[in-house]
Chain A
Amino acid sequence: MKKDWPSAPVSLQNVSPNAMRMARLLRMSRRDMLLTGMGAAVTCSVAAAAEAPSAPASGTDSVAGQFMAVSRLLTDRPTLDLRIGNALYAGIVESNPTRQAQITALHALMEKEQFTSAADFAAAAEKADPALKDVMHDILTGWYRGVADGKVVVYRSALMFDITKDAIYPKTYAAGGPFYWTTQPPEVAHPTGHPALSPSKFVVEPT
């Protein structure tokens, strides 16, 4: 469980709802600072995000631009949403101080060689430095699950829902109307692709 979001603070000064609200207002994490510093798209509100310009990540952090380039290659997608990218980047860098340098390393690798697919690139990166697997997992987890630093950056806008939207809705955002679920969803062929990275441990968390 994520310890940095207090789920039930026990201290007496946080007992009343107002005290909690005040405490939260005063609390500003490094991540909040980073988001503010990046200026551009990332703000606290969905509406503000809607109005954000689609300019490249500002010059305050040139690695943010490298992050977008690496992300496009790792997802085999020519375009990715910059607003989401900036928020993911902020979270990933916040989660681990070595990530910034690793993103730069990934970027250098992709600049050095011409990769035509995510799979080729990922395999080469892991071969060059096994430690890069984790940062690639972070990037993929960010884009596909919408999670960075163990926190939700986007929920319904995560790519995992984009690639399944012909069949299923994100929980709480069903848009088929009552009883839509009785109809047959699309068939899915058995995948033919192969993993590019070495496997990692995966355990189902008890619910």
Chain B
Amino acid sequence: MPDFRTLLCSALVAGTALGGIALAPVALAQPAPAQPTVPAPVAEQGKPAAGSDAKTSDHTPTSQAPAPAGEAAAPVQGQGSAPAIQSDASSQAASTAQPDGADAELERGAYIATAADCVACHTQAGGKPFAGGMKIATPMGDVIATNITPDPEHGIGRYTEAEFDNAIRHGVRKDGSYLYPVMPYVSYAGMTDQDVKALYAWFMHVVKPVSEAPAETNLSFPASMRSAMVAWNFVTSKEQPETGDSSTYDTLRRGRYLANALEHCGTCHTPRNFMLSEKQDHYLAGASLGAWYAPNITSSKTGGIADWSEDDLVEYLRTGRVQGRAQAAGPMAEAVEHSTSHLSEADLHALAAFILKVAPMDDDADHTPRDASGKPVEVPDIRTKGPQRIDDLAEMDGPHIYDANCSACHGRDGAGTKDHYVPSLFANSTVGAGRPDNLIMTILKGVDRTAGKEHAFMPGFDGQSDVQRLSDAEIATLVNYVTATFGTGDHQVTPELVKSLRKDTPVTNPLAKDK
């Protein structure tokens, strides 16, 4: 289960990569969801529509048809590298049924959906795309992502464009109640009218309706009162909507639009105040997501990424890795996999250029660039023991835990593999960070990130691992050895800290039948 504020880039496990999601290739050829003869509310929380309050459903959808051709958007910059799967789907459909203008709008909508990474939360592991069901842990309880497919009963099939807009940019559901702020509408508020319209068209016409109701969110008082969210909406600061055609912006404006209105970088990377609102005076200065830590990515020379070039950042967002700097794991790996790796080259540069201009904020824990520590370590592997009996599972010391579990791939010297498939541990942001959280989490959960043709994979070493299950004490010992050897020093990680981050879900076998 993702932790609070990993929300928008949260755990889709292996196998549900966007690239693997089958969007109905003939979606456009299908009739739009039937206009209901009896108005019924949309089950925002996935409850059966019949059980909802019918009085709130005063308006029925007026049109499910694509936007008028006259409003066709200009193609977004570099649309040639828009996510292949959506363009395949829309172009195939378009060739049979749609005029060019609508086709362009759908392509834009697909691209916006990818850039805004909707799939990350609204699809659960192994589930159907956008059918919801993923649990997102918050300090107040679990919020369950809703079905946002165009299914009229369980999804958003009955949302008008205006109602869709109201949810996306203002956090208000069709029934008038407020969305929980795990939905990043404070960021999406910055989207242009044209992009919201395109997004609506894409959701209504390309996404395959799924007639499934995810479980309902059931929070504890007072958050259970959606009305309380009105107050939250009042105090929190929202993005101001951009205007015009977002594809025509200059580089920095486009970058800012991508970072804030679409990719919602701040949702994870900006710390929050006691009201859980992002602290805009600490924009992108780093925040804990519970277990993973979204680091300071301001232009601070000590705590941020001032030493990165625009090309470095572009490569990172496209591939999830830059040798000698960093690799994306956890929630960021998902953001790369589902969203940033699909952005056009021009958009990647715009986003990178904007991020690198963010005002520097020094960091509490990082006092030297995270990727600037360590060097290869070469010492002879002097050995004093013969083979031990097979049941001797005694805990080893740091160098030996490293030798037995890490050195096969990362090398005894920490240099990784020659082809950089396995990264070096020195000059590595995860190891060199002042906070050991991400190193511990990477060891526990591993790395599983597909971007382009590369599937980066490191096994986890937690209690579900088939490769090796390490104890809290072993991981603490290992982390302290690794940071002392390749990072900024021994972080004195305790087994208790590892335990608190581990949060193992119960060991389960997904193929097992419920008993």
Contact = CB atoms under 8 A, between A and B. Distances in A.
A179 to B, nearest CB: 9
Given A175-B415, A180-B418, A44 B384 contact: yes
A42 B380 CA distance: 11
Interface in B211-269: none
Nearest to A46: B399
Contact of A83 (B377, B382, B387, B398): B382
A153 B420 CA distance: 31
Interface stretch (A101-109, A131-139, A154-162): A154-162
Interface string A51-95: 000000000000000000000000000000101100100000000
Contacts of A174: 408
A17 B219 CA distance: 49
A178 B380 contact: no
A44 B384 CA distance: 6
B417 to A, nearest CB: 4
Nearest to B413: A175
Contacts of A17: 389, 391-394
B392 A5 contact: no
B270 to A, nearest CB: 36
Contacts of A153: 382-383
Nearest to A179: B419
Contacts of A84: 380, 382
A2 B397 contact: no
A154 B383 CA distance: 6
Given A2-B386, A47-B481, A83 B394 contact: no
Given A5-B386, A178-B421, A154 B481 contact: no
Contact of A175 (B377, B399, B400, B418): B418
Given A21-B394, A45-B400, A173-B412, A152 B383 contact: yes
Size class of B's contact patch?
Answer: 20 to 34
B467 interface: no
B397 A45 contact: yes
A81 B415 CA distance: 21
A178 B416 CA distance: 12
Main secondary structure of the interface of A (DSSP, over half): loop
Given A46-B399, A47-B397, A176 B418 contact: yes
A173 B391 contact: no
A46 B386 contact: no
A165 to B, nearest CB: 11
A192 B10 CA distance: 63
A47 B386 contact: no
B408 A173 contact: yes
Interface centre among A8, A45, A155 (most CB of B within 10 A): A45
Nearest to B416: A175
B411 interface: yes
A175 B381 CA distance: 17
A21 B411 contact: no
Nearest to A42: B382
A177 B407 contact: no
Contact of B389 (A8, A42, A155, A175): A8
Contacts of A11: none
Interface string A1-20: 01001011000000001001
Contact of A154 (B380, B399, B403): B380
Nearest to A48: B399
Given A17-B392, A20-B389, A173-B412, A49 B418 contact: no
B389 to A, nearest CB: 6
B306 interface: no
A49 B411 contact: no
B405 to A, nearest CB: 11
A151 interface: yes
B379 interface: yes
Nearest to A35: B384
B422 interface: yes
A96 interface: no
B510 to A, nearest CB: 26
A177 B418 contact: yes
Interface in B329-365: none
A20 B392 contact: yes
A14 B495 CA distance: 30
A36 B412 CA distance: 26
Contacts of A157: 380-382
Given A81-B380, A177-B418, 10 more contacts: A17-B394, A45-B397, A46-B381, A47-B398, A153-B382, A154-B383, A172-B408, A173-B408, A175-B418, A177-B420
User: Which 6 interchain pairs have the tightest Cβ spacing?
Assistant: A177-B419, A5-B386, A177-B417, A50-B379, A177-B421, A157-B380
Interface of A: 2, 5, 7-8, 17, 20-21, 32, 35, 42-47, 49-50, 81, 83-84, 87, 151-157, 172-178, 180
18 contacts: A8-B389, A17-B391, A17-B394, A42-B382, A46-B379, A46-B399, A47-B397, A47-B485, A87-B382, A152-B383, A154-B383, A157-B380, A157-B381, A157-B382, A175-B417, A175-B418, A176-B417, A180-B419
